[in-house]
Amino acid sequence: MATLQTDVPSGGRADAIRGAANDRFLIVMLGVMVVGAIIQITLGGVVRVTESGLGCPDWPLCHGAIIPKFEYHTMIEWSHRTSGSIVGLFFIAAVVRVWLSHRDNGFLLAMTTGSLVLIAIVGGIGGAVVLSEVEPALRTLHLGLAEGVVLLALLALAAAVTGWRPGLSGDAAGGAVESTGNLITIRRFTVLAAALALVTLLSGSYAVWRGAGAVCPSWPLCGGSFIPGSELVWIHAIHRLTAIAVTLVALYAAHKAYRLPGASLNIRLLSLGAMATVVIQVLVGAANPWTDFSEWAQAIHLSMATIMWTDLVLLVAVLAMRPYEGDGGSNPSSGSGSGSLRSVGT
Residue by residue, pLDDT tens for the chain (346 residues) are 333 333 344 444 555 555 677 788 899 999 898 888 888 888 887 887 777 877 888 877 888 888 888 888 888 888 888 888 888 899 999 999 999 988 888 888 999 999 999 988 988 887 777 666 656 677 778 788 888 888 899 888 887 876 665 554 433 333 333 445 577 888 889 999 999 998 888 888 778 777 767 777 777 777 666 666 677 888 888 888 899 999 999 999 999 999 888 778 888 999 999 999 999 988 988 888 888 777 778 778 878 888 898 899 888 888 876 543 333 334 444 443 333 333 445 4
Do 251 and 196 form a contact (C-beta atoms < 8 A)?
A: no
DSSP state letter for 221: S
Q: Hey, how many other C-beta atoms are within 10 angstroms of the C-beta on 41?
A: 23
- Which residues does 252 contact at the CB level (< 8 Å), separation at least 6? 189
Q: Helices H, strands E: what count in the chain?
A: 9, 2
Residue 226 has a pLDDT of 62
d(Cα 39, Cα 80) in Å, to the nearest integer? 10
| Vertex 230 angle, CA 229 and 235, to 5° | 110
- Which residues does 311 contact at the CB level (< 8 Å), separation at least 6? 270, 273, 274, 277
- Sequential DSSP letters for 2-55: --B------THHHHHHHHHHH-HHHHHHHHHHHHHHHHHHHHHHHHHHTT-TTS
d(Cα 301, Cα 287) in Å, to the nearest integer? 9
Residue 318 has a pLDDT of 80
Residue 210 buriedness (CB in 10 A; 0-12 / 13-18 / 19+) = middle
Q: pTM to 2 decimals?
A: 0.71
The H-assigned helical ranges of 210-230 are none
Alpha carbon of 131 to those of 78, 79, 124: distances in Å?
A: 15, 18, 11
Residue 55 has a pLDDT of 82
Residue 16 has a pLDDT of 52
Dihedral-angle region of residue 321 (phi above 0 means left; psi in -120 to 50 means alpha; beta otherwise) = beta
Residue 179 has a pLDDT of 41
Q: Is 261 helix (H, G, I), strand (E, B) or coil?
A: coil
Residue 1 has a pLDDT of 37
Residue 117 has a pLDDT of 92
Q: Hey, how many other C-beta atoms are within 10 angstroms of the C-beta on 306?
A: 25
Q: Which residues pair with 62 in a beta bridge?
A: 65
Alpha carbon of 258 to those of 3, 164, 269: distances in Å?
A: 17, 20, 8
Residue 252 has a pLDDT of 95
Do 153 and 33 form a contact (C-beta atoms < 8 A)?
A: yes
d(Cα 75, Cα 89) in Å, to the nearest integer? 21
